[in-house]
């Protein structure tokens, strides 16, 4: 709206100049005042125009910067979108591989739990008692088990570690056995790993051997071995010098 006003002022100034020679002095003074005002208006209009140009230039620069920023954002967004898509595809592949590995792990755990359940009758009673917390974590039915694969696998590995440790050592444990008269007596049992055991009461009168069987450990009275078993127990406790002791070992289930 300022530019039309400046044009009107210029037209008025031209008309005054043409008619100025015929007007009185006061009219000239008035004319001069009007001319001054007109020049001021022109100057103001020019200044406003320069200001507007500067403002437009600044606005243009601002918009250009905004557009550049938007372009950069869009570029980054495009790049990020591509990267996100790649990451998503990678994650989906990894998830698929993890699911396949999980299925294989489940199959392995089910198989291992079946093997462990098959081993339970063969485990010596002291080992069963010692490993009871772990055995309680082995499900009776793997297909109906609710525990996670990791926890179940850890239970199997822990139990097998306990079994291996027992196999590598000689263990003495207190227990109860039935004598020839059908009475239960307190005995000490010497286990040679998982394969053989020898028991005796404190006098050596009630003695015998044991081995793992299909339904559990099988025990047989062998009174004639009482003295040798007592000697082996004494050597185990270091209360007697080490010496050769002939004790029968039967391998098999």
Q: What is the pLDDT of residues 173-189, one digit of tens each?
A: 999 999 999 999 999 99
b/e per residue 180-189 (b: at least 16 CB within 10 A): eeeeebebbb
How many residues can be counted in the chain? 253
243 within 8 A of 231, measured Cβ to Cβ: yes
| Band of pLDDT at residue 112, cut at 50, 70 and 90 | confident
What's the pLDDT score for residue 203?
A: 93
Does the predicted model carry a pTM greater than 0.95? no
In the chain, what are the domain boundaries?
2-68, 169-248
Query: What are the backbone dihedrals phi and psi of residue 194, each rounded to the nearest 5 degrees, phi first?
Result: -100, -5
Position with higher pLDDT, 202 vs 114: 202
Position with higher pLDDT, 215 vs 209: 209
């Amino acid at each position: 709206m300022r530019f039309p006003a400046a044009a009107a002022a210029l037209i008025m100034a031209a008309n005054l100049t043409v008619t100025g020679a015929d007007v009185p002095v006061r009219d000239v003074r008035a004319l001069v005042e009007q001319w001054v005002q007109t020049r001021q208006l022109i100057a103001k209009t020019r200044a406003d125009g320069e200001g507007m140009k500067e403002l437009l230039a600044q606005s243009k620069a601002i918009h250009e910067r905004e557009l550049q920023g938007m372009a950069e954002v869009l570029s980054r967004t495009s790049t990020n979108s591509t990267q996100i898509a790649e990451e998503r595809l990678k994650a989906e592949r990894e998830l698929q591989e993890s699911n396949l590995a999980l299925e294989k792990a489940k199959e392995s755990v089910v198989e291992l739990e079946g093997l462990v359940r098959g081993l339970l009758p063969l485990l010596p009673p002291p080992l069963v008692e010692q490993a009871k917390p772990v055995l309680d974590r082995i499900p009776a039915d793997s297909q109906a088990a609710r525990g996670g694969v990791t926890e179940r696998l850890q239970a199997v590995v822990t139990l097998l570690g306990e079994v291996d440790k027992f196999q590598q050592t000689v263990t003495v444990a207190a227990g109860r056995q039935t004598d020839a008269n059908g009475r239960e007596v307190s005995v000490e049992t010497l286990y040679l790993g998982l394969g053989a055991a020898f028991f005796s009461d404190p006098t050596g009168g009630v003695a015998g051997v044991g081995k793992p069987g299909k339904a559990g450990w099988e025990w047989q009275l062998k009174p004639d071995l009482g003295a040798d078993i007592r000697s082996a127990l004494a050597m185990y406790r270091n209360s007697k010098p080490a010496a050769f002791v002939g004790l029968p070992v039967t391998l098999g289930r």
